[in-house]
Structure 1
Amino acid sequence: MPEAAFRFGDMPAPLPSELRALADGLEPAALGHLLNEGFTGPRHRHLAGRREPSLGMVVTCRSRGADNAIVHHAVSRLRAGDFLAIAREADDQEACLGGGLALAAERAGCAGILVDGPVTDVQELRQLAVPVWATGLTALTCKRRYEEGEFCWPISIDGVDIVPGMLALGDENGVLFVDGARLRACASEAKARQAAQAERYARVRAGARLAALNGTDEAFARILAEAER
């Protein structure tokens, strides 16, 4: 049997309560109007759990092939407010997470789990509150082979570089990985945009045209006027 190849990093500090309060009710898509990086792509779908925005302190692991022992280790280390991001290899077909691991994560107070690959036991996942994002479903599962893996080590998912101690903000639309300083800088403006959007929607329901309210009509009037010169 070859020698096991594991790498272990340090756990990040727990999620500060002021950041949790700052992000309360904040939607990732609101930050999508302000930021261009850090978002997972459409491959990762919300499959189960809370639909409302969820903020967590990122804890990472990398599970390769059919060996998911490192995922079991990662889940055993989770604290309330942690968000587990699991990197997989592009050709990995096995599910490294299912109902048992998700249940253990939920009991630890996990804020969310994103797997860069398929998961299993969707019927059990749907009975839990912890939100799970993944690329799909499969009945083929990993085994605990204790051969290799990384915990609290930098990973990359969808071209997004993710390190322990970043923040993850996710809802049904996807997940944003962002550092605390950037979230603090953008949160107020993003919340203001959300509030303005709610007001705009109310006016559209009352009969107003969205393009008139958001400046699109005015902008195209200028474009057409210039084209006619």
Structure 2
Amino acid sequence: MFKINPMPEAVTTARLEKLRQVETATVGHFLHSGFMDPELRAVLPGRRVAGTAVTLRLPHADSTLLHYAMKLIRPGDFLVIDRAGDRRHACWGGVITHTLARIGIAGGVVDGPVTDIADFAKKDLPVWATGPSPITTKLLGTEGQMNVAVSCGGVVVNPGDAVLADENGIIVLNPDTVDAVADRAIGMQEREITLLQRIDAGEHLPDISGATEKVENALA
């Protein structure tokens, strides 16, 4: 059985532009939840994208709903695909890559394998997955769900969530928290520039960070 809910409200352009300035690893210094499992890795290195989560749950070997979704997905969306535990069949291949690149999505993540790896580089489409597989899904027409809460990489993703993804990983945020998270992370990144300048000037990292004081106090 198929279930298709309305498309979610898009995260504002201003919030996504701010979020794209943020490294996921910076957020990892002060948040511990919302990060997808590190087994989901970037197919293309050096990319950082942010977009509005559009969710799909595709069980077993049926990718019919993924094909159907191609007429609904919008520029700037970030496609999140829950494979319901299937780690064998690749639902996303060259034709899907070509279609989504033409639409102009921000990127996507599959909680499982993908295929036709060369096409991601050819179309410059950032995608995260567990790796490649030559075994593909089929148009079986049996079931699937769109724009429902899904589980991807151990994280619950709701349609309309903000997704930030780079070569270090993926984090999912409620849109209302984006400004606070991004502002804090951007501030940390700016302070890191100053930190590196002090190291280049000859200061010792543990003296700056406070590690020297902690260790010597513990030894005293």
Query: TM-score normalized by structure 1?
Result: 0.90
- 2:13 match: 17
- 1:62 match: 57
Q: CA deviation at 1:20?
A: 2.1
User: What percent identity do the matched residue pairs reach?
Assistant: 34
Q: CA deviation at 1:102?
A: 1.5
Correspondence for 1:191 among 181, 186, 207? 186
- 2:46 match: 51
Q: Tell me if structure 2 keeps the 8 A contact 1:68–1:145.
A: yes
Structure 1: unaligned runs, 5 residues or longer: none
| Alpha-carbon distance in structure 1 between the residues aligned to 2:20 and 2:166 | 12
Is 1:169 the counterpart of 2:164? The answer is yes
Residues 53-95 of structure 1: CA distance to partner in whole angstroms, max 9, x if unpaired? 2110000001111111111122331111100000012244110
Q: CA deviation at 1:206?
A: 4.2
Q: Tell me if structure 2 keeps the 8 A contact 1:46–1:172.
A: yes
Partner letter of residue 151 of structure 1? M
Partner letter of residue 106 of structure 1? A
Partner letter of residue 180 of structure 2? A
- 1:32 match: 28
The DSSP-based 3-state class of the residue aligned with 1:187 is helix
**CA RMSD of the aligned region, Å?**
1.5
- 1:223 match: 218
Query: TM-score normalized by structure 2?
Result: 0.94
Matches within 5 A, 1:82-161: 82-161=77-156
Q: Tell me if structure 2 keeps the 8 A contact 1:59–1:84.
A: yes
Structure 2: unaligned runs, 5 residues or longer: none
- 2:76 match: 81
| Alpha-carbon distance in structure 1 between the residues aligned to 2:119 and 2:202 | 44
Q: How many pairs align? A: 220
Is 1:7 the counterpart of 2:9? The answer is no
Residues 165-202 of structure 1: CA distance to partner in whole angstroms, max 9, x if unpaired? 10000000111011112222221111010111122223
